[in-house]
Amino acid sequence: MESVRVEGMMFDLPDDDVLYAALLARDPSYEGRAFVGVASTGIFCRLTCPAKKPLRRNCHFFGTVAEAAAEGFRPCKRCRPLGGAEPFVEALLAALQDDPARRWGEGDLVALGHDPSTVRRAFRRQFGVTFLDMARAARLRSGFGTLREGGRVIEAQLEAGFASGSGFRSAFARLLGRAPGAFTGREMLKADWIETPLGGMIAVVDARALHLLEFADRKALPSELKRLSGLVKGDLGIGRTLVTDRVEAELAAYFGGEEAAFTVPLALHGSDFTRAVWDELRRIPAGATRSYTQIAAAIGRPSAVRAVARANGANQIAIVIPCHRVIGEDGSLTGYGGGLWRKERLIALERGYAGRGGGGRGQASSCAPVPRIA
C-alpha cells in the first residue's frame, strides 16, 4: 500500500483489487477514504454499503466523493456516502444530474427554500466549487458538443439551457475570447471540452500538437486563451483533431491508474528559461515531488528560485506538464491554478504509480522533443 502525507493528511492508495476485496468484506478501515462507483447503476457508495455487491468489472474506485460526483455517479440512498453533508447537497446533485441543461440561479435556490450563501459554502467545502459553477460547467459542456458537431449557435444555446442568446454568447466570449457565431470551423487551433474525474478541462490543439490544457473553472483561463488567440492572430475555434482524441485517451489512462506517461506532442509558448523549467517538471516521476529550489538547481540556475516559481505558474498544459508536483520547501502545498484540492488529489493519485518505476507501463512523463513556438 502506498501513502503520502500532504499538509498533515494521510492518503492511502491501495490498488483496485485490494479495494474490491475491501468492498466485498465491507471493511470499515476505508471509511471516508475510498468510495466505489457502480457503472451498471450510476450510484456511488461507501465500501461498507449493505447493498448487494457489484461485479468487479462494474466498479470504479475514488478517493473522494467529489471525484465520484464529477464522474456523474449519484450518492447511494442506503449508505449515504456524503455522510453528514446537508440533505440539500444530495438533492441538488440529483437535480443537476437529471437536468444538466437547466439554467440555475440564486433565485432557484431560494425558491427551493435554500439560502444561496449556505449552499455556496457547503459545495465549496465538499467539492471545491460552488453548485452554480457546477451547473454552468454542465451547460457549457453541452454547448461545446453541439458547436463541435457543426450545429447552429441557436441549437447550441438551447442545448446548453441558456434562455438568452446574449447570455450564451457572453459565456462563450468570456471563456474563448470570441462569441460562438464568430467561429468558422476553419480555424487552425481547435478548443474542445474533455471531462475528467476532477472536472471539465479545455484542450486547445492543432493538427499536430497540444497547445493548452486547463481546468474549465480556472479563473486565469480566459486570459490564457486570449493570449493564445493573439499568438495565432485569432485563429482559434471550437472543434477537435486526432490530438484531442489522443490527450483524452491518455488522461483517461492516467486517472484510471493505468499509465502516468503522456506522449502527446506539445507546443510550448514561452521563453527559453520557461521551457527549461517545464522540461524539468516533466522529468519529475509520478509519485515524487520537488521544490522550487530543487528545480532551479536542476536547470543550472540555483539563484533563480522566484523565476522558477513564475514559470511554474505560467504553465498552460496542466497535468501533462506536472506543475502540481512542485511543493514548498517545508513539504506544504503551494498555490495551484486548478485549486489546492485538485493538487492534493493529483499527488495522492500518483502515489499509485510510485511503485511501478513512476509511470505505469512506461515512464512518469514523456520528455520527447516538442515543437518550439515563440
Could you give the residue numbers annotated as active site? Answer: 45, 323
CA 300/CA 5 separation, integer angstroms: 29
CA 157/CA 20 separation, integer angstroms: 42
Rg (CA), the chain: 21
239, β-bridge pairs: none
Cβ atoms of 344 and 4 within 8 Å: the answer is: no
Could you tell me which residues come within 8 angstroms of residue 92 by beta carbon, excluding any fewer than 6 positions away?
114, 119, 131
Pairing of strands 199-205, 210-215: antiparallel
**Residue of 305, 319, 307, 314 whose CA lies nearest to 253:** 319
Cβ atoms of 262 and 243 within 8 Å: the answer is: no
- Tell me the three cell numbers of residue 355: 511503485
